[in-house]
Amino acid sequence: MSDYQHIRVEPISTALGAVIHGIDCRSDLPNSVVDEIRKAWLEHLVVFFQGQDLEPGEQLAFARRFGLPVKYPMLEGLSEFPEVVRVVKLSHEKNNFGGIWHSDTTYLEQPPIGALLLAREVPEVGGDTLFANMYLAYETLSTGLKNMLGRLIVVQSSAKAGASRSREDRLSDVSAVAEQVLEAEHPVVQTHPETGRKTLFVNYGHSIRFKNMTEAESKPLLDYLFAHQTRSEFTCRFQWAAGSMAMWDNRCTQHNPINDYHGFKRVMHRISIN
């Protein structure tokens, strides 16, 4: 593990994920501390901060130290802070937003490089989030499959059934904008621009087929990759508390918020960064 001078980094699994201690995300952090947080983020793919009582403006200010906050497609943000989206599941609702394995908004031509999710209100039980390492997902494939995938382009869509269902409750809210279908094409194998490592860039939430292939032709290989990339040894699991904040690298991770808290309310504030 890397040495850090200004922060304490506690890994939560060998695959990915670490808690960063000793940081008040509201404060005006010196560049040396921000650099170490970014180093830990790139090393562990998703990092967590505990006990952060951040107002939306404070969360935005922290996010700006790591990227440019951008609006989330199809959902309205807070009126004063449009880049901050309330991710809510009410006690009577059955669907949770994004409640499948996915990388964020890969149906955009330029998906966000990362996201910050802050827990404002958590259920008494349940509501953990799983994260998966897409470097490991790629590196553990056979040489033959790596070579084949390296030549393929994947079509990503916002209208894939599982992802669409997970948005139903939020799109029925008065704060939601009209549903629209967004599609983009991306190489199946990508090289992370900061680490130089190759990553597998398909996901169950949005990948519908390979370019120049039908959905039926694409399905067997996609189904294999979806199962492979979320193997338990590639994952970590995070248990939220009010004031917990996660920051993940969308270029090399997937996540799955577990929908196991029916009857309870859960409120999160989310920011995407480019």
Cite the active site residues. 102, 104, 255, 270
Q: What is the DSSP string of 17-48?
A: -EEEES--TTS---HHHHHHHHHHHHHHSEEE
Q: How far apart are CA 140 and CA 231, in angstroms?
A: 11
207-210 vs 114-121, strand pairing mode: unpaired
Helix (H, G, I), strand (E, B) or coil at 57: helix
φ/ψ of residue 123, rounded to 5: -70, 160
For residue 62, give every residue at least 6 positions away whose Cβ sits within 8 Å of its Cβ, in sequence order, or none: 25, 26, 54, 116
Helix (H, G, I), strand (E, B) or coil at 111: coil
CB atoms near residue 128 (< 10 Å): 15
18-21 vs 8-11, strand pairing mode: antiparallel
Structure tokens at 32: 């040396």
CB contact at 8 A, 252 and 199: yes
